[in-house]
Amino acid sequence: MENTLMNRVMALLAFVILAGFVGILVAYVPRWDLGIMVAICVALAGWDIWHVAMGHKEDKH
């Protein structure tokens, strides 16, 4: 039980760090094409965390 909670916390921490890094990148390089790619990247990472790390879907790898 505690291991699952630790995995969720670490997944959320990794997502926050990713979002912060690409947010700083977009802030210093304000290009619309970069913003689209960052939005896609963050959306895919968020989808993966929601479905796999939060236990909404079984990881079948």
Q: What pLDDT was estimated at residue 3?
A: 72
* Pairwise pLDDT comparison (57 vs 47), residue with the higher score: 47
Q: Is residue 25 part of a domain?
A: yes
Question: What distance in Å separates the CA atoms of residue 59 and residue 52, rounded to the nearest whole number?
Answer: 6
Q: What pLDDT was estimated at residue 54?
A: 72
Q: Is residue 11 part of a domain?
A: yes
pLDDT score of 59 more than 60: no
Q: Is residue 41 part of a domain?
A: yes
Q: Is residue 17 part of a domain?
A: yes
Question: What distance in Å separates the CA atoms of residue 50 and residue 57, rounded to the nearest whole number?
Answer: 9
Q: For residue range 2-53, what is the model confidence (pLDDT) as tens digits?
A: 677 888 888 899 999 999 999 999 999 999 999 999 999 999 999 988 887 7
Q: Is residue 61 part of a domain?
A: no
Confidence bin at 58 (pLDDT 50/70/90): low
Per the structure, the complete domain to which residue 12 belongs is given by 2-53
Total domains, the chain: 1
Q: Is residue 59 part of a domain?
A: no
Q: Is residue 9 part of a domain?
A: yes
Q: Is residue 60 part of a domain?
A: no
